[in-house]
Amino acid sequence: MRKIVAANWKMNLRRESAATLAGALAGDLRQLWLFPAAVHLNSVRLQLSDTKILLGAQDLSVHKDGAHTGDISAEMLKDCGCEMVIIGHSERRQGYNEGSDVLLRKLVRACSAGLRPLFCVGESKAERDSGQANAVVESQLLILKRLAPEARAMVAAVAYEPVWAIGTGVNATLAQIEEMHAVVARKLGGIGMHATPILYGGSVTPENARELLASRAVDGVLVGGASLNYDALSRIDDCAKAQEIAPRGVSAQLEPAPPPEALALLFERDTDDFNIEVKVKPAAPAAIVAEVPATPPSDGALSRYEQEMGLRKPPTQPLPRTSQGRLQPVAPTSQGKLPPVRPVSQGSVPVAGDISRKATAPLPTPAPAKPTTPVAPKAPSEAPTAEVKPEAPGAKTDKPEKPDTSKNSGPAKKSNIYDDTDRPSWV
């Protein structure tokens, strides 16, 4: 499997420029993971059919559905054609106080909907300067230990992104990256995630990508600023194309990921406190594997992902439906109301560095590695228990299918998606 290039477009671009950039990359037969802003998911997705570019979202709601103004649920993202979602990015940890509780709930939501998390970890400058980088990253990874093995198997990648390197133009040195990736690999290996790719993120540019991607410790890169520029992203991807991911450890074999149906986790009690009670739908894994046909499905978001990853068998059962019976992904033709974006993928291969030759409108040319905001030093502790606040009783009216939660008011049962035996001290 070749090394991964994931592009986090953050809150940048406009509908047409996002679609044009995606179309240009698709026209070059790139194999990327693209994370556009949520409002651009649809227009970008229309450029990606029959390509090896995978679509992901930058965030998701901790809620399942209902009266949560401004939120976007995991199922909505799946319905939009997303296969992955970024969780734990430092800009959300810091800017929105997302700590362990919130992140764990987002991980569960994503996995439950069949969205594969791209989970980010990384220490701040203050934490590194005080010698806590390893401890901080290890504690951030503990969340994954609290997922059920089926959910862990769905994690698309873990990205090590030192906060001080994001958007600053100062990338970590290769020695620092290799040391931290070894820490991450050891932690992941301890919970059976030997084969989960480990990406580096933080001021990756075409200039440093070759060295980074040549390292056996780096399975790919998560690129922010430079990913907004067609030429820069193409050159980074060229560096990745030449490199294979090196297997980590002898026991690197993952169990085949179960199809989404087996991960249809039923939220029995979905209060906004941390103790989400989750039940895995009774589905014998052996039976699921036995149902995999000789010919895998040739389309569908998840099957493309599976083929891309080359690790697991594609699902055989229908894609998950919402409680209203909606099915995903949406057929591209159903989106005819969008203003047309010139189908650049059907033209000639673009000249590297000159996306405007095939675009209906020139792309903005943001400076790839220019820092946008100074990185605020972060206190060593992320105070994870502070951010999940229970809603007022009766505030939730959006989950009619849930059983009466009053029956669950006794001591919290041990969830089978969290391993409470290893509950970290900070929750």
Q: Which residues are catalytic?
A: 89, 161
With 0-12 CB in 10 A as exposed, 13-18 as middle and 19+ as buried, what is 373?
A: exposed
Q: Count each helix (H run) and each strand (E run) in the chain, helices first.
A: 13, 10
Min CB(167)–ligand PEP separation in Å: 4
Ordered alpha helix ranges (H), 267-421:
285-290, 301-309
Instruction: Please tell me whether residue 88 binds ligand PEP under the rule CB under 6 A.
Output: no
The residue among 224 and 258 lying less far from ligand PEP, judged by its C-beta, is 224
Joined together, the tokens standing for residue 363 give 């792309």
Measured from the CB atom, the residue of 141 and 278 that comes closer to ligand PEP is: 141
Q: List C-alpha distances in Å: 101 to 204, 274, 275, 383.
A: 30, 6, 9, 10
Residue type, 266: L
Rank residues 141 and 226 by Cβ distance to ligand PEP and give the closer one. Answer: 226
Least distance (Å) between residue 165 CB and ligand PEP: 6
Single-letter amino acid, residue 318:
P
Q: Which of residues 222-261 bind ligand PEP (CB under 6 A)?
A: 222-226
CA 6 – CA 22 distance, rounded (Å): 13
Site string for ligand PEP, 322-341 (x = CB under 6 A): --------------------
| Residue with smaller CB distance to ligand PEP, 61 or 203 | 203
x-marked contacts with ligand PEP along 156-175 as a string, rule CB under 6 A? -----x----xx--------
Least spacing, CB of residue 202 vs ligand PEP, in Å: 5
Nearest approach in angstroms of CB 267 to ligand PEP is: 30
Q: How far is the CB of 38 from ligand PEP (least distance, A)?
A: 16
Within residues 183-202, the interface with ligand PEP by CB under 6 A covers: 201-202
The two three-digit tokens of residue 366, written as one number: 């943001």
- Tell me: does residue 8 bind ligand PEP (CB under 6 A): yes
Q: Residue 158: which residues within 8 A CB-CB, separation 6 or more?
A: 118, 119, 120, 121, 141, 144, 184, 188, 193, 196, 197, 198, 199
Among 112, 124, 139, 203, binds ligand PEP (CB under 6 A): 203
SS3 content of the chain, % helix, strand, coil (to 5): 35, 10, 55
Pairing of strands 277-279, 266-269: antiparallel
Q: What is the DSSP letter of 110?
A: H
Q: How many residues bind ligand PEP (CB under 6 A)?
A: 13
Smallest distance from ligand PEP to CB 249, Å: 26
The interface mask with ligand PEP, positions 106-145, x = CB under 6 A, is ----------------------------------------
Residue 58 engages ligand PEP in binding (rule: CB under 6 A): no
- Find the distance separating the first CA and the last CA of the chain, reported in whole Å: 37
Q: Which residues contact ligand PEP (rule: CB under 6 A)?
A: 8, 161, 166-167, 201-204, 222-226
